């Protein structure tokens, strides 16, 4: 065979091989997309981030995941399809965190960001004493998962990392719940003493002792402080006696009236629309999804005809863009129905305030009336996306 013919044959084999490899990669990517859509559709609550590379005729899987099930399904599918592959995927958390794969928030509010840097978008917040899973580390930031399963990054200064034993001891300990919107923890039993830190509504610390005026408490990092008793309550007693009623939803919601809007905020220092609804429900004993686009997927659908018929105080109202033939529904805002004759609801937009759906009311909200897309009921609804605090501890 002359050189020219040999070159043509080699070139033909090369292109044949390339075509086969491209088809294989495409096949693998399709498998991955299907499994991700089924088992890890929302990257805010489940990581399944895999890339594919060709090396010496094999598909190399790289990336990270929090779902062993999704990765196992992908690997089984590749084996069944007789795809030659090697997995280098990290299952989080892994050994890089050693045995400290848990943490407790140790500041009044911790800022949890979309990426491991201070300039990144604020995704959500955590409150003092909040229990967290630690998934990964990058520089001075840790990737964590909050009780509502939200995954993002927090600066190391905001958390106290723990092993499983210490984490379980913290969770099982007697605690004090702060019930004022804002306040301080003092160094001694004197409101004029040194301030250990600020504290916000929903913050919890470990109970040590009490007298007529103060609770003595411990922080996750073992700092000692004192909280005024008229601003707090024993957590277990609060939860045992808590009545999660529409009326209490309204009381807690109005307690935050006038609070500033903060994109990504979920605390009384500032809150976005879903951060507000989340905080209101937390103080009524529920852990609900983080974002409005997640909250609409929980609970019981109410008001199918969008005429506010059948709504009850405490129901969540959702706003955004309705689905069309060319686009899916898009949820961008949420509020809480107050259920009075004025057709009022309370929401965080600019600040927390009350608006109305009745065109004759002075606080009529024409903008949101025209983008109303539905409502959900959470109270007394059994839903795997709605966590009931009373079911999580022994009372």
**CATH no., domain 3-91:** 3.30.70
What is the CB neighbour count within 10 angstroms for residue 12?
Answer: 10
Distances (CA, A) of 338 to 73, 244, 277, 285, 342: 46, 15, 13, 19, 9
The architecture of the domain spanning 173-241 is Roll (2.30)
pLDDT at 16 over 50: no
CB 40 within 8 A of CB 144: no
- 126-164 confidence digits (pLDDT tens): 999 999 999 999 999 999 999 999 999 999 999 999 999
Using the structure block, give the residue that is written with the tokens 């009381």.
251
Q: Can you read off the two tokens belonging to residue 2? A: 């002359």
Instruction: Specify burial of residue 338 (Cβ count, 10 A radius: 0-12, 13-18, 19+).
Output: buried
Average pLDDT of 20-31? 81
Average pLDDT of 76-83? 94
**Parallel/antiparallel/unpaired status of strands 372-377 and 316-321:** antiparallel
Cis geometry, peptide bond prior to residue 93 (ω within 30 degrees of 0): yes
Where exactly are the structural domains of the chain? Answer: 3-91, 96-171, 173-241, 246-390
CATH for 246-390, options being 3.10.129.10, 2.120.10.30, 3.90.1720.10, 1.10.3720.10: 3.90.1720.10
pLDDT band at 90 (very low <50, low <70, confident <90, very high): very high
Rounded Cα gap, residues 206 and 264, in angstroms: 27
Q: What is the mean pLDDT of the chain?
A: 93
Q: What is the DSSP letter of 364?
A: B
Q: What is the DSSP letter of 107?
A: S
User: Same CATH fold, 173-241 and 96-171?
Assistant: yes
CB 146 within 8 A of CB 130: yes
Query: Yes or no: is domain 96-171 CATH 3.60.140.10?
Result: no
Give the pLDDT score at 4: 53
Q: Report the percentage of the chain scoring pLDDT > 90.
A: 87
Rounded Cα gap, residues 320 and 265, in angstroms: 20
Nearest Cα neighbor of 375 from 324, 322, 323, 304 is 304
* DSSP string across 25-44: HHHHHHHHHHHHHHH---TT
Give the pLDDT score at 391: 85
Q: Can you read off the two tokens belonging to residue 198? A: 């600020």
Rounded Cα gap, residues 99 and 184, in angstroms: 33
Give the pLDDT score at 21: 65
| 3-state secondary structure at position 240 | helix
Give the pLDDT score at 55: 87
Rounded Cα gap, residues 62 and 82, in angstroms: 19
Nearest Cα neighbor of 107 from 217, 215, 220, 189 is 220
Q: What is the DSSP letter of 218?
A: E
Q: Can you read off the two tokens belonging to residue 104? A: 């407790």
Instruction: Specify burial of residue 87 (Cβ count, 10 A radius: 0-12, 13-18, 19+).
Output: middle
| 3-state secondary structure at position 351 | strand
Helices marked H in the chain: 3-39, 68-80, 164-172, 235-241, 246-255, 273-282, 292-295, 366-369
Average pLDDT of 354-372? 97
Give the pLDDT score at 11: 34
Rounded Cα gap, residues 249 and 258, in angstroms: 17
pLDDT at 334 over 90: yes
């Amino acid at each position: 065979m002359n050189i020219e013919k040999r070159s043509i044959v080699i070139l033909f084999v090369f292109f044949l091989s390339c075509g086969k490899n491209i088809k294989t990669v495409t096949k693998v990517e399709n498998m991955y997309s299907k499994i991700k859509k089924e088992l890890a559709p929302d990257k805010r609550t489940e990581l399944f981030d895999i890339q594919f590379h060709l090396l010496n005729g094999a598909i190399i899987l790289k990336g990270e995941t929090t779902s062993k099930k999704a990765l196992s399904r992908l690997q089984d599918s590749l084996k069944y399809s007789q795809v030659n592959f090697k997995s280098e995927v990290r299952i989080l958390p892994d050994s890089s965190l050693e045995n400290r794969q848990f943490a407790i928030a140790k500041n009044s509010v911790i800022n949890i960001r979309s990426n491991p840097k201070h300039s990144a978008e604020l995704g959500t917040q955590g409150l003092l004493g909040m229990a967290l899973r630690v998934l990964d580390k990058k520089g001075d930031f840790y990737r964590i998962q909050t009780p509502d399963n939200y995954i993002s990054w927090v600066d190391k200064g905001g958390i106290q990392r723990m092993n499983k034993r210490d984490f379980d001891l913290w969770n099982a300990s007697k605690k004090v719940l702060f019930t004022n919107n804002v306040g301080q923890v003092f160094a001694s039993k004197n409101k004029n003493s040194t301030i250990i830190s600020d504290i916000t509504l929903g913050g919890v610390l470990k109970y040590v002792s009490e007298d007529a005026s103060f609770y003595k408490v411990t922080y996750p990092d073992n700092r000692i402080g004192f909280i005024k008793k008229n601003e707090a309550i024993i957590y277990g007693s609060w939860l045992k006696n808590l009545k999660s009623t529409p009326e209490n939803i309204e009381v807690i919601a109005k307690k935050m009236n006038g609070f500033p809007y903060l994109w990504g905020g979920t605390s009384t220092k500032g809150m976005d629309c879903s951060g507000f609804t989340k905080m209101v429900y937390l103080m009524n004993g529920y852990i609900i999804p983080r974002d409005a686009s997640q909250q609409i997927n929980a609970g019981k659908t109410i008001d199918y005809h969008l005429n506010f018929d059948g709504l009850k105080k405490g129901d969540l109202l959702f706003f955004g863009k309705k689905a069309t033939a060319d686009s899916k529904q898009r949820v961008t805002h949420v509020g809480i129905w107050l259920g009075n004759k004025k057709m009022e609801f309370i929401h965080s937009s600019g600040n927390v305030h009350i608006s109305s759906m009745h065109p004759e009311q002075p606080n009529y909200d024409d903008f949101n009336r025209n983008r109303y897309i539905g409502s959900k009921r959470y109270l007394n609804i059994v839903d795997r996306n709605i966590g009931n605090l009373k079911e999580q501890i022994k009372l």
